[in-house]
Amino acid sequence: MGLTVSLVIGPRHAGKSSLIEVIKDEVCKSKPHLLRLIPSNRAKHSAIKPLSLASEHETSFENIIYDPDRVFETLPEILTRIHAQDRYGCVIIEGDADPNLLQAYPYDFALFIMPSPESENDIFRSKDQVKKAFEAAMNDTAAFTSEIFGVGGVDDSWSGERKTPRPDMSDSQMIRLLDSPLGQELASRIQCHPDYHGLIDSNAIVVNTGIGATSGAADAVVARLETLINDNSPVNGSRSIYCCDVLDRHDPRRKKLLALLGQNYPLQRNA
């Protein structure tokens, strides 16, 4: 038994920091270590910022600017350092919608949060986009690994030239692939825009109604997401979607989310 490591991931401006504050105040039994991961292509400086002063609600807080291609090395190194200081501590990691983060460490729990959508197109690709994504994935190894495993990242426009072109698949080959388990999984995963790839591999999803649109599109999106994750997610056990305002203490759906976190969010282990 050692560190308990949890991940809160999602698009920018989805309410990740707010949700983590709620977890610290209402769920954690001990002060956690907090890590905020910032990809280098979104940061002004490439160097890692110095350790920040922790508040009274956490043991330590640190901003980490990382290279997405090296996060598989960087994150374990940081967690090893924390483990040397706090053998049985708890770590909560905040990250943007970088699918590499989900694959970089065997987290105890991964939570995906997103703002309330204005339409299904905010989350899901159009039929034409899905078709182009599928064709690109079948003819480009980098695109394939991004779509099926969520690593590497590809341009969502599919408008640039491929650096390593491969022969196009025939119609009969495409049909046989679609009928296979691998083809069915790929077809399901590419339904979402890249910023939402991580929801498939998360343990729970939060649609934060306190941020984003106030239209009725969230209900349609939740229904579609439930079908998608229950049919195709490799995460063991049941996966739930919570459509609530994470800062509204009177929201009954928020109370259900905190009940789940209190029961299943492994934020503390006894030595």
CA distances from 32 to 124, 151, 193, 267 (A): 35, 28, 32, 8
Query: Structural domain boundaries of the chain?
Result: 4-114+205-215+247-264, 125-189
What number does CATH give the domain 4-114+205-215+247-264? 3.40.50
How many Å separate Cα 67 from the centre of its chain?
17
* pTM for this model (two decimals): 0.77
Task: Output the six-digit token pair for 168.
Answer: 């196009």
Closest CA to 59 of 87, 96, 17: 87
- Nearest residue to 101 (alpha-carbon basis) of 233, 206, 201: 201
Q: What is the pLDDT along the chain (271 residues), one digit of tens a residue?
A: 577 889 999 998 899 999 999 998 888 877 888 999 998 877 654 444 444 445 555 678 888 899 888 999 999 999 999 988 888 778 999 998 887 888 899 998 899 999 999 888 899 988 888 878 777 776 665 555 566 555 555 445 444 444 444 445 566 665 666 666 666 666 667 888 888 888 888 888 999 999 987 777 888 888 888 888 776 655 445 578 999 999 999 999 999 998 888 776 555 544 3
